[in-house]
């Protein structure tokens, strides 16, 4: 990797884990493309990066739409340069018990997490192959191990682990690593929405979750950003096809 092609793409980077990761990678020296559904939504992350002296652009794209993904990656190449880092972080929840889960709840979650990671990785890999260097990180979840009310999400997050391992095998010879980070409970809008759905205040919800976590606290977006920062570093080139659970302790 040369100084010129230190370009990273983070999807779903308008807020939460994606925003923290984009800000961290910018601090690590990457020019960062902040991709989210609406370009305007990414402005806040971009402003934080530029205020700290970094380089970033906001790009609007739905990662589950092939044409939008192709256009977004082309724009990144034109405005920042060819990406050597891709963090597939965009995600949504459509939780429900199986008997109440609609076909569209299933499809939406599969499309954003799984198809989105596939489309983004496919669009970026050719630039990484050309560079003979690349780092792909996919956001899985502790829910990959199974979680009540998340048949769709747990299947998608387990699927991302298989996808990651396959990418690591196909792309390793081009100097590209692929790894997954599987967070436990991280305090973001996503977990705040879950608290609301189950009728609990967010503070009470976080406190209850913390009692189940060995380090006695819930996670924060920077906990994940730090792990991603390691995985995309040059020195992590022998770490590939791995799933790192970042959950404050081991999981059953
Ligand atoms: N928060 C947690 O506890 C937790 C735990 C495990 C895994 N994760 C995973 O980490 C990732 C980030 O989670 P978060 O908590 O920051 O979520 P969040 O809801 O706060 O942020 C997700 C971002 O993704 C964007 N997004 C959604 N659909 C998109 C699409 N089709 N195209 C582009 N952008 C899209 C949203 O607009 C939003 O900005 C997700 O993949 C999530 O499943 C989160």
Q: What is the pLDDT along the chain (252 residues), one digit of tens a residue?
A: 666 679 999 999 999 999 999 999 999 999 999 999 999 999 999 999 999 999 999 999 999 999 999 999 999 999 999 999 999 999 999 999 999 999 999 999 999 999 999 999 999 999 999 999 999 999 999 999 999 999 999 999 999 999 999 999 999 999 999 999 999 999 999 999 999 999 999 999 999 999 999 999 999 999 999 999 999 999 999 999 999 999 999 997
Locate 136 and state its tokens: 């792909």
Phi, psi angle pair for 113, to nearest 5°: -75, -55
Does the beta carbon of 188 sit less than 6 angstroms from any atom of ligand 1? Answer: yes
pLDDT at 252: 73
Q: Which fold has domain 7-184+222-244?
A: Rossmann fold (3.40.50)
The answer for 100, left when phi > 0, alpha when psi is -120 to 50, beta otherwise, is alpha
- Residue-range domain boundaries for the chain: 7-184+222-244, 187-218
Q: Return the pLDDT at 190.
A: 96
Cα 15 to ligand 1 centroid, rounded to whole Å: 8
Ligand 1 center to 88 CA (angstroms): 10
Predicted pLDDT of residue 70 = 98
CA 19 to chain CA centroid, Å, is: 10
Q: What pLDDT sits at residue 3?
A: 61
Q: Whose CA is nearest to atom 1 of ligand 1?
A: 186
Answer whether 64's CB lies under 8 Å from 37's CB.
no
Q: How far apart are CA 121 and CA 98, in angstroms?
A: 30
Question: Given CA atoms 194, 159, 60, 125 in this order, what sign does their dihedral have?
Answer: positive
The DSSP element (H or E) to which 85 belongs, if any, is: strand 85-88
Distance 156 CA to ligand 1 centre (A): 13
CA-nearest of 154, 152, 177 to 164 is 177
- The residue whose CA has the least distance to atom 11 of ligand 1 is 89
- Residues acting as catalytic residues: 153
Our answer on whether the CB atom of 63 is closer than 6 Å to any ligand 1 atom is yes
Phi-psi group of 29: left, alpha or beta (phi > 0 → left; psi -120 to 50 → alpha; rest → beta): left
């Amino acid at each position: 990797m040369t100084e010129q092609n230190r370009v990273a793409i983070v999807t779903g980077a308008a807020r939460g884990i994606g925003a923290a990761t984009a800000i961290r990678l910018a601090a690590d020296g990457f020019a960062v493309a902040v991709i989210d559904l609406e370009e305007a939504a990414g402005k806040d992350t971009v402003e934080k990066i530029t205020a700290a002296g970094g380089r970033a652009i906001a790009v609007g794209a739905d990662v589950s739409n092939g044409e939008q993904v192709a256009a977004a990656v082309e724009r990144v190449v034109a405005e920042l340069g060819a990406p050597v880092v891709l963090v597939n972080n965009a995600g949504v929840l459509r939780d429900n018990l199986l008997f109440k889960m609609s076909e569209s709840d299933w499809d939406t979650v599969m499309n954003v997490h799984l198809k989105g990671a596939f489309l983004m990785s496919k669009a970026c890999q050719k630039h990484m192959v050309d560079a003979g260097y690349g780092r792909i990180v996919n956001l899985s979840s502790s829910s990959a191990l199974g979680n009540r009310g998340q048949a769709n999400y747990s299947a998608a997050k387990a699927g991302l682990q298989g996808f990651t391992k396959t990418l690591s095998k196909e792309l390793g010879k081009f100097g590209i690593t692929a790894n997954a980070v599987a967070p436990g409970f991280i305090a973001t809008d996503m977990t705040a929405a879950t608290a609301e759905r189950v009728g609990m205040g967010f503070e009470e919800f976080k406190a209850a979750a913390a009692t189940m976590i060995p380090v006695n606290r819930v996670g924060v977006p920077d906990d994940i950003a730090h792990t991603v920062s390691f995985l995309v570093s040059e020195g992590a080139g022998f770490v590939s096809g791995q799933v790192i659970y970042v959950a404050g302790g081991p999981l059953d």
